Amino acid sequence: MIYQCLRQNKASIWTLILFGLISGIIWRIEVEMQGWSGLKWISYFHWAVPIGVILFAVWLAIFSTIPVLKTRLWLAGVFLVAAIPLYFILSISFSYFFLGGPGAFMTMANLGTVVFSLLRLSILFVYPAILVLAWVAAKRCGLRLSWRIYGLSAIVFLGAFPLAILGITIVEKNISADAIHAIKTGWIFPFMTIGLGIPFLSPPGSLK
């Protein structure tokens, strides 16, 4: 069933991939233009984020397999609103996760070891929660999610970091292949976009 559905929605799949690539490319252009050295890329707002969010919302509204147009438009609107707090939560979680050196020591001294550790490990819960929300949304919008859909979306979305690191290793020989550069280079964004979109390529089914 899933393979038949994917074959019937080639335009949706290729558009999802294209939008993911556009988001990653825009991010990379911004980083290159602002200056590549160090962690400067963390300190400024990236227009690739709202552009990527808008592109994904457009994809949900036009290309997802949700059968009812009104539902697709509603979901796209909800995603646009929900993306704002999710962006800030992810930013905070990632900043603590990657914090190191004297900055980490000073922050831990100010917050306490327990609070600092919880904030640093929060990304391990926040990031997968985004995919779980996508699963719930897809089912609530009338799509049938098989174990193959769950597995494929989890592999791509949760595996975005190792997949991005693999891409850097193969393509970009002069860049460190690690988690920080998975974000900095923009490689992670196509995988995140595709993984998040896979549940919305499921075949329609009756609402539970």
The pLDDT tens digits for 159-207 are 999 999 999 999 998 898 898 899 999 999 999 999 999 999 988 874 4
**Per-position DSSP letters for 138-183, written without gaps between them:** HHHTTB---HHHHHHHHHHHHTHHHHHHHHHHHH-TTS--SHHHHH
d(CA 118, CA 34): 32
The pLDDT tens digits for 79-110 are 999 999 998 888 888 888 877 777 777 888 78
The pLDDT tens digits for 110-157 are 888 888 888 888 888 999 999 999 999 999 998 989 899 999 999 999
pTM for the whole structure:
0.87
Cα 67 from chain centroid?
24
